[in-house]
Amino acid sequence: MTAFTAERRHNRLTAGMRWLVVATLVVFGSLVADRPASAAGALIAASANANAGLSACSTSRGKELYNCVADVLDRLNNEIAPIRVPEAQRALQTASARLRAANSKAEALSAISQAQAAIAGAIRQAKAAPGATQDTGRGLSAIVGVLARAAKLIQAKG
């Protein structure tokens, strides 16, 4: 074996070991990540998806719009289900059902505003809980933002 081949093999081994160390750090880092921060991140990501869904609803009007927004809220509710935020899930589920039943802009806006109020209450509770951090409620605030955007859409096109 030449010196060049031995050096090449050593370089490959060293690169492989670096990769293994980095992969190990990533795996263990994700396992010990702070759950509230990851939950907030997941809620924010789900809210971003919902905002994109609301963009697709912007071509609809009236009952078709209410159903489209209800579909978006149902998808958001499904995305956040693993995070276990029961207040937000109940609020989204109720808003979705009320939107499907709405026959007027006022009924649709009422469904959205009740969901916003319920989630705002959950945010206040989360911030008041022992051990609450400044980031507590960030993910829920993102959901309130989705509902605010839905209300604007309904107000404009409902």
- Which tokens hold the place of 25? 């750090």
| Predicted confidence band of residue 5 (pLDDT cuts 50, 70, 90) | low
Rounded to two decimals, what is the model's pTM?
0.74
- What pLDDT digit, counting tens, does each position of 65-108 carry? 999 999 999 999 999 999 888 999 999 999 999 999 999 999 99
Closest to 48 (Cα-Cα) out of 153, 142, 115, 123:
142
Residue 137, phi-psi category: left (phi > 0), alpha (psi -120 to 50), beta (remainder): left
Per-residue CA distances from 37 to 6, 55, 70, 124 (Å): 46, 27, 28, 17
The separation between CA 5 and the C-alpha centre of its own chain, rounded to angstroms, equals: 52
Contact 55, 149 (CB under 8 A): no
What integer pLDDT is reported at residue 61 of this predicted model? Answer: 95
